[in-house]
Amino acid sequence: MKGQETRGQFRGRRLFLFFFGLYALTSTGNAFRVPDEFEVYFQAEHFADAHDLSVPQTLSVNENGEPIFFGKFGLDGKPYAPYGPGVAFLILPFHLAGRALARVAGVPRAALPQGIAWEFLVGGVTALGMAFAGALAVAGFVRAGRALGASAPDIRTLAIVLGLCTILWPYATTLYCEAWLAAAFIWAAAFLLEVLPREAGSNVASGFSRKIGAAAILIALAIVTKPTAIVIAPAFVVAVLLDRRGDRRARTTVASALSLAILVGASVHILWNVTRFGNPLDFGYNLAGMIPHPPARPFLPEEIPRGLFLQLLTPGKSLFVWAPVTLLSLFSLGACWRRERGLAAGLIAGIASALVFYAAYFFPDGGYSHGPRHLVPLVPVMMLPVAIPSVPISRSALRACAAVGFVMAALAVTVSFFEDQAPVQIGTRLISPYYERVDPTPGGPNLRYRTDYIPFKFALTSGRWLSPFRAPGNGPDFFALHLVQARRMFPGGKAIPRWLPWAVSVPWGILMIWMMPGLRVSGLDESPR
């Protein structure tokens, strides 16, 4: 048994390293497309420079002479991004690694525009923090599946489906924070699945085990990273309270620890908001340009039906298009309820609360992004029902879901969401394949997601994607290619050595190849288990 556990742990590490290599190799490296990416990067950068999470870099102007700042000025007069403090600290080690690489490569830091090459290089390395998080989510899924009793071949196959054939892959290649949330939630689930059957009774009631503490810290960290994670977090409390394993006192103790973690995470955000703006509920969003009739109403209950349709049934945002295997999980919830009632109850609570909350949100699409961005953190935990050994899964259905998911993920990794979705001037007309302008209800935005948006169609048919050297950031969305573009086209770009694009890609390819032995997908051609 001990040898089997050791091999299982090794498989988790091998999968982690394989996917870290894959995600790093296919990382966009472009942290400067939308505020959700570049302002988070600037938070980490300014913290490294001045130990301060404000973003004075955003007060510079773009090519149109407009500031790129999206946020509010705080009580101290400094500009702050409307994001939690958690992401900046999570990506800080990678940001420091980027600075070290720039120093080794001889790329100088200078004032803009000459310093843009340094920013682009360091930003690209900083984005690898999400590759690390995505690989961590895959490894957490392996651990959670093993805690449910899944065999090594089955959990290996499902982990590869998660890593290659769902929306997790695209989000592990950008600087959006959803990959970190996915990792935090699946590892919290893994620790709870391990601890409940083993530490039921007086062991848990007498004090906090390391695994309970780790799960609580991860849930609090998720909320500090993104405040809306608090919508999903209570599902863990529901799962523990309705779990059949362990006595009531043990479950109550664990649920109390998780509830305290949720309270701590929320308190950090309240303190952060009060410190910056003097208002516990002011998160720093400045939506004046998109709300013609203020005050803004972030939640529009009348839009819930449309929001649900958008998240579940439109080609551009449907969870079942971008992570088809989750549909198998939903069909398996009945069997999951009979075997793992706590897990099923938690999933139902988390899925329902997230769907309704984001359906009512005035941007249920998640802004410029691939697929159902808001639901990405749920994908690994949603796959857990199909990892339960007694839950029957059709291998042909799993193959079909894997095939569709892989095509969507591979295209999303290759085609920048911004290149596919941003408005383009064609003649005298401004064409947007993604948003349409509407006359909104009071408090609502004047931009609305187009439900007829077809992913990748605009970029692939307009010729923009096929012109990779027209401008930096265009074409296939890979860091190495963007470095080549930056070297040719940016002011001061010649400071980027010719060998650097190879240096940021070849090692990751070697890591992938090194980890490939033993990762063969097995079981897909067998009969349903």
Residue carrying the six token digits 């805690």? 147
Mean pLDDT to the nearest integer, 190-211: 64
In the structure encoding, which two tokens stand for residue 5, read together? 């556990």
Report pLDDT for 349: 97
Query: Exposed, middle or buried by CB within 10 Å (0-12, 13-18, 19+), for 301?
Result: exposed
Phi then psi dihedrals of residue 451, to 5 deg: -70, -15
Q: Give pLDDT tens digits for 287-318.
A: 777 888 888 888 889 999 999 999 999 999 99
For position 305, what pLDDT does the model report?
96
Average pLDDT over residues 111-125: 90
What is the band of 525 on the pLDDT scale with cuts at 50, 70, 90? very low
Are 140 and 134 in contact by the 8 Å Cβ rule? The answer is: no
* pLDDT for 201: 43
> pLDDT, tens digit, for every residue of 401-460?
999 999 999 999 999 898 889 887 666 667 788 999 888 888 888 899 999 999 998 888
User: Which residue type occupies 407?
Assistant: V
Check residue 69 and give its pLDDT.
86
Q: Over pLDDT 70: what percentage of the chain?
A: 89
Place of tokens 């299982």: 8
Rounded CA gap, 396 and 250, in Å? 41
pLDDT tens per residue, range 336-376: 999 999 999 999 999 999 999 999 998 999 999 999 999 99
Tell me if 166 sits within 8 A of 401, measured CB to CB: no
Domain coordinates in residue numbering, the chain = 174-406
Q: Which amino acid is at 308?
A: L
Q: What value does the mean pLDDT take over residues 387-409?
A: 93
- Is 521 a residue whose pLDDT tops 80? no
pLDDT band at 195 (very low <50, low <70, confident <90, very high): confident
pLDDT for the residue numbered 207: 39
The average confidence (pLDDT) of the chain is 88
Query: CA–CA separation, 317 vs 374, rounded Å?
Result: 10
Q: Which two tokens stand for residue 524?
A: 């897909």
Q: How sure is the predictor about 519, in pLDDT bands with cuts at 50, 70 and 90?
A: low
d(CA 105, CA 498): 10
Look at residue 64 in the predicted model and tell me its pLDDT: 56
Rounded-to-integer distance, Cα 141 and Cα 134, Å: 11
